[in-house]
Amino acid sequence: MYTKNKDEIKRKKVVRVINRHPHFFGLLSMAMVMNTLAKPCDFTSDLSKDEKEETKKEVVTFVEGAKEPTIKIGEVAPYKYQEVKLSDLYFPSSAFNNYDEKIATDIKNGDYSSFTDNVNRKVLFNQQLKEAEARIEAEKEAKRIYEENHKYELLRDKILQKYNLTLEQFNVIKGIVIAESQWHSYEDAYAVINTLFNRINSSVWVDYINRVVGANNGVSLYGQGICPGQFTVYASGKYVKYMNESPNTNPGVRAIYDFLSEDRPQLLHNTIAFLGHGYKTPYPSRNYTSRGNNYGIPVADNEYISLDFDMISEQEVEFKARDAEAYCTHVQDFIDQGMNEEQAVATVNSMIDQQQDQSRTLSK
């Protein structure tokens, strides 16, 4: 083991090696600062704190005990490194620890061959790491594009699970909401699905639906939607033609997805009833669009089953509506030009990405 008064001699020797191999400096200093070499090779004992900080590098991923450096990709979560301590950069086996001691001994004796061989291996590992990082970035980008182009399919699955619905039941709800709201109106469809949600959160309406439709139907959006005497579009069958409307082309459907996919629903109102445009309500009411429904009869404070929701302003819903209407219009334009819906969605999303990239570039 080297003694304290020989630290400066050791350091000068290593500096000479670094000067001979300047491109190895990052890897060597990274190992030195994190004390990954054997203790006799602690070359940083008299470096200042700032000097040590300058030599630090990013944490890398390494499979402990492997014979060759191996990148661990996607074991815990896809498209992501599993980060470990930098000390694992050097193999922790006793054989390798002995090799660290050999490097220290060789340097002490003026022989840098084992040290150079070791650093060469680290350079190769660093190259492999960069290639793996590039692959991971490409995978992350591919994942982002897929999720962007299939956003509403993923949200639909989340909604089915959250509200305990089958796909058929969800499509029925979709059809009812679109048939009951102003055509292609984000705001009015948002207000209708909001009404359905208020009913499954009202103890009075839950008890009523349980008696009329059957047990456990009161807390179901589907049970509330199909209850006799409630939604005329269900009784008449008008809802059927809207069951397969897409959130990529119909802003009203987009509103349904946006409302139901929130972890905490964003309520526009707290009422449980509405009548169509032009009908006089027997209760105080208001509408949210020029030809939309008239909404009234608030849920009483003592009726709420859960307060796990937030309120959203009309202005915020209007802002969402503008975005939805513009997006759906662009998608429909490309469909009219001969694209299928998936191609049209991918094209519009690509255009949006390009505009955002240009905006970021201009802002720099």
Q: What pLDDT does 278 receive? A: 84
Q: How far apart are CA 234 and CA 242, in angstroms?
A: 11
Closest CA relative to residue 31, chosen from 107, 132, 134, 115? 115
Q: Both ends of the chain: CA-CA distance in Å?
A: 53
Q: Which H, E and C letters describe 15-35, residue by residue?
A: HHHHHHCHHHHHHHHHHHHCC
Bridge partner residues of 296 (DSSP):
273, 285
Q: What pLDDT does 114 receive? A: 74
How confident is the chain (364 residues) per 10-residue block, as mean pLDDT? 44 42 39 36 46 38 33 33 37 47 73 73 78 86 90 95 96 97 95 97 96 94 95 95 96 97 95 91 91 94 92 96 96 96 95 87 74
H or E element at residue 70: none
Q: How far apart are CA 327 and CA 182, in angstroms?
A: 18
Q: Which residue has the tokens 């009219």?
A: 336
Q: How far apart are CA 187 and CA 185, in angstroms?
A: 6
Q: What pLDDT does 112 receive? A: 72
Q: List all residues 6 or more positions away from 81 whose beta carbon is below 8 Å from its beta carbon.
A: 61, 71, 72, 73, 136
DSSP state of 104: H
Q: What pLDDT does 49 receive? A: 58
Q: What pLDDT does 99 receive? A: 59
Q: How far apart are CA 39 and CA 42, in angstroms?
A: 5
Burial 96-121 (b: 16+ CB within 10 A, else e): eeebbeebbebbeeeebebbbebbee
Closest CA relative to residue 267, chosen from 316, 220, 303? 316
Q: How far apart are CA 329 and CA 180, in angstroms?
A: 22
Q: What pLDDT does 258 receive? A: 97
DSSP state of 296: E
Pairing of strands 271-275, 294-298: antiparallel
Q: How far apart are CA 44 and CA 47, in angstroms?
A: 5
Q: What pLDDT does 259 receive? A: 97
Spatial contact of 51 and 110, defined as CB atoms under 8 Å apart: no
Domain coordinates of the chain in residue numbers?
Answer: 4-148, 165-363
Closest CA relative to residue 112, chosen from 24, 33, 13? 13
Spatial contact of 188 and 288, defined as CB atoms under 8 Å apart: yes
Q: What pLDDT does 136 receive? A: 86
